[in-house]
Amino acid sequence: MEVILKEDVTKLGSRGDVVKVAEGYGRNFLLPRKLAIEATTGNKAVIVQMKAASVRRSAKEKTQAEELAKQFEGVSVSFQRRSGEHDHLFGSVTSGDIADAVAKKGITLDRRQIQLHEPLKTLGEFTVPVKLHKEVTAHLKVVIEKEAVAE
Protein backbone atom coordinates (compact mmCIF):
# COMPACT_ATOMS: atom_id res chain seq x y z
CA MET A 1 0.00 0.00 0.00
CA GLU A 2 1.31 3.48 -0.85
CA VAL A 3 0.71 6.35 1.56
CA ILE A 4 1.68 10.02 1.74
CA LEU A 5 3.09 10.97 5.13
CA LYS A 6 1.47 13.98 6.78
CA GLU A 7 3.99 14.01 9.67
CA ASP A 8 7.56 12.83 10.18
CA VAL A 9 7.52 9.15 11.14
CA THR A 10 10.69 7.71 12.67
CA LYS A 11 12.41 5.07 10.50
CA LEU A 12 9.84 5.56 7.73
CA GLY A 13 10.14 9.01 6.22
CA SER A 14 9.48 12.69 6.61
CA ARG A 15 6.45 14.85 5.97
CA GLY A 16 5.32 14.74 2.33
CA ASP A 17 7.12 11.52 1.34
CA VAL A 18 5.31 8.84 -0.64
CA VAL A 19 6.23 5.47 0.90
CA LYS A 20 5.18 1.85 0.51
CA VAL A 21 4.07 0.23 3.75
CA ALA A 22 2.43 -3.03 4.75
CA GLU A 23 -1.34 -3.01 4.43
CA GLY A 24 -1.95 -3.56 8.15
CA TYR A 25 0.56 -0.90 9.24
CA GLY A 26 -1.07 1.65 6.96
CA ARG A 27 -4.70 0.86 7.81
CA ASN A 28 -4.30 0.17 11.53
CA PHE A 29 -1.61 2.66 12.56
CA LEU A 30 -0.82 5.43 10.08
CA LEU A 31 -4.28 6.28 8.77
CA PRO A 32 -6.24 6.25 12.09
CA ARG A 33 -3.58 8.45 13.76
CA LYS A 34 -3.70 10.86 10.80
CA LEU A 35 0.02 10.39 10.19
CA ALA A 36 -0.61 9.56 6.54
CA ILE A 37 -3.20 9.59 3.76
CA GLU A 38 -3.65 7.10 0.96
CA ALA A 39 -1.62 7.87 -2.15
CA THR A 40 -4.39 8.33 -4.73
CA THR A 41 -4.03 10.54 -7.81
CA GLY A 42 -6.06 13.31 -6.15
CA ASN A 43 -4.02 13.15 -2.99
CA LYS A 44 -0.78 13.24 -4.97
CA ALA A 45 -1.85 16.65 -6.30
CA VAL A 46 -2.42 17.83 -2.73
CA ILE A 47 1.08 16.68 -1.78
CA VAL A 48 2.66 19.57 -3.68
CA GLN A 49 0.78 22.07 -1.51
CA MET A 50 1.59 20.08 1.63
CA LYS A 51 5.32 20.12 0.82
CA ALA A 52 5.33 23.89 0.34
CA ALA A 53 3.49 24.37 3.64
CA SER A 54 5.81 21.93 5.42
CA VAL A 55 8.90 23.77 4.19
CA ARG A 56 7.52 27.02 5.64
CA ARG A 57 6.50 25.31 8.88
CA SER A 58 9.84 23.51 9.20
CA ALA A 59 11.75 26.79 8.73
CA LYS A 60 9.63 28.43 11.43
CA GLU A 61 10.08 25.47 13.79
CA LYS A 62 13.83 25.51 13.17
CA THR A 63 14.15 29.20 14.09
CA GLN A 64 12.10 28.60 17.25
CA ALA A 65 14.30 25.63 18.11
CA GLU A 66 17.47 27.69 17.59
CA GLU A 67 16.11 30.40 19.91
CA LEU A 68 15.31 27.73 22.51
CA ALA A 69 18.81 26.25 22.08
CA LYS A 70 20.30 29.65 23.00
CA GLN A 71 18.36 29.49 26.29
CA PHE A 72 20.17 26.23 27.13
CA GLU A 73 23.60 27.89 27.05
CA GLY A 74 24.96 28.00 30.56
CA VAL A 75 21.93 26.20 32.02
CA SER A 76 22.57 23.23 34.24
CA VAL A 77 20.29 21.18 36.43
CA SER A 78 21.43 19.43 39.58
CA PHE A 79 19.96 16.58 41.54
CA GLN A 80 20.67 15.33 45.05
CA ARG A 81 20.30 11.58 45.30
CA ARG A 82 21.20 8.91 47.83
CA SER A 83 24.08 6.75 46.75
CA GLY A 84 25.89 3.67 47.91
CA GLU A 85 29.36 2.34 47.37
CA HIS A 86 31.37 3.47 44.35
CA ASP A 87 29.04 6.48 43.89
CA HIS A 88 26.29 4.27 42.49
CA LEU A 89 22.78 5.73 42.97
CA PHE A 90 20.03 3.80 44.75
CA GLY A 91 17.59 5.14 42.18
CA SER A 92 18.30 6.88 38.89
CA VAL A 93 17.82 10.18 37.10
CA THR A 94 15.55 9.77 34.08
CA SER A 95 14.63 12.02 31.17
CA GLY A 96 11.35 12.79 32.98
CA ASP A 97 13.28 14.04 36.03
CA ILE A 98 15.45 16.23 33.81
CA ALA A 99 12.40 17.62 31.97
CA ASP A 100 10.75 18.52 35.31
CA ALA A 101 13.92 20.25 36.54
CA VAL A 102 14.22 22.24 33.30
CA ALA A 103 10.52 23.20 33.54
CA LYS A 104 11.19 24.68 37.00
CA LYS A 105 13.78 26.93 35.33
CA GLY A 106 11.11 28.23 32.95
CA ILE A 107 11.97 26.25 29.80
CA THR A 108 9.19 24.03 28.46
CA LEU A 109 10.54 20.74 27.20
CA ASP A 110 9.06 17.34 26.41
CA ARG A 111 10.87 14.41 28.02
CA ARG A 112 11.04 12.65 24.63
CA GLN A 113 13.27 15.43 23.33
CA ILE A 114 15.93 14.52 25.88
CA GLN A 115 18.22 11.99 24.19
CA LEU A 116 19.04 9.91 27.26
CA HIS A 117 19.62 6.34 26.12
CA GLU A 118 19.55 4.95 29.65
CA PRO A 119 18.90 6.55 33.05
CA LEU A 120 21.86 8.09 34.85
CA LYS A 121 22.85 5.87 37.77
CA THR A 122 26.11 7.36 39.07
CA LEU A 123 27.22 10.59 40.70
CA GLY A 124 28.97 13.17 38.55
CA GLU A 125 28.56 15.66 35.71
CA PHE A 126 26.94 14.64 32.47
CA THR A 127 26.26 16.42 29.19
CA VAL A 128 22.88 15.33 27.84
CA PRO A 129 21.84 16.11 24.25
CA VAL A 130 18.37 17.63 23.78
CA LYS A 131 16.92 17.28 20.28
CA LEU A 132 14.78 20.38 19.71
CA HIS A 133 14.40 19.94 15.93
CA LYS A 134 15.74 17.39 13.48
CA GLU A 135 18.59 19.81 12.66
CA VAL A 136 18.97 21.51 16.07
CA THR A 137 20.42 19.77 19.13
CA ALA A 138 21.27 21.59 22.36
CA HIS A 139 23.38 20.22 25.20
CA LEU A 140 22.30 20.36 28.82
CA LYS A 141 24.63 19.95 31.78
CA VAL A 142 23.27 17.57 34.44
CA VAL A 143 24.98 17.36 37.82
CA ILE A 144 24.17 14.55 40.26
CA GLU A 145 25.42 15.10 43.81
CA LYS A 146 25.43 12.93 46.89
CA GLU A 147 22.55 13.67 49.24
CA ALA A 148 23.65 14.77 52.68
CA VAL A 149 22.73 12.08 55.19
CA ALA A 150 21.36 13.40 58.50
CA GLU A 151 22.85 11.44 61.35
What are 73-103's pLDDT values in tens digits?
888 899 988 888 888 888 889 999 999 999 8
Across the range 32-56, mean pLDDT stands at: 83
Q: pLDDT confidence of 16, banded at 50, 70, 90?
A: confident
CB 93 within 8 A of CB 81: yes
Across the range 15-37, mean pLDDT stands at: 91
Q: Where are the domains of the chain?
A: 2-62, 72-146
State the architecture of 2-62 in CATH terms.
Answer: 3-Layer(aba) Sandwich (3.40)
Q: pLDDT confidence of 24, banded at 50, 70, 90?
A: very high
- Domain 72-146 adopts which CATH fold? Ribosomal Protein L9; domain 2 (3.10.430)
CB within 8 A of 84, min separation 6: which ones?
90
CB burial readout 105-127, b (16+ within 10 A) else e: eebebeeebbebeeebeebeeee
Distance CA 5, CA 79 (A): 41
List pLDDT tens digits, range 46-56.
777 777 887 88
The phi-psi region of residue 18 (left if phi > 0; otherwise alpha if psi is between -120 and 50; otherwise beta) is beta
What local confidence, expressed as pLDDT, does residue 75 receive? 85
CB 6 within 8 A of CB 33: no
- The C-alpha torsion from 32 through 34 and 38 to 39, rounded to 10°, is -160
Q: Is 69 exposed, middle or buried (0-12, 13-18, 19+ CB in 10 A)?
A: middle
Q: pLDDT confidence of 72, banded at 50, 70, 90?
A: confident
What local confidence, expressed as pLDDT, does residue 151 receive? 53
Q: Please, what sign has the CA dihedral across residues 105, 106, 111, 113?
A: negative
List pLDDT tens digits, range 108-150.
888 888 888 888 999 999 999 988 888 888 899 999 998 876 5
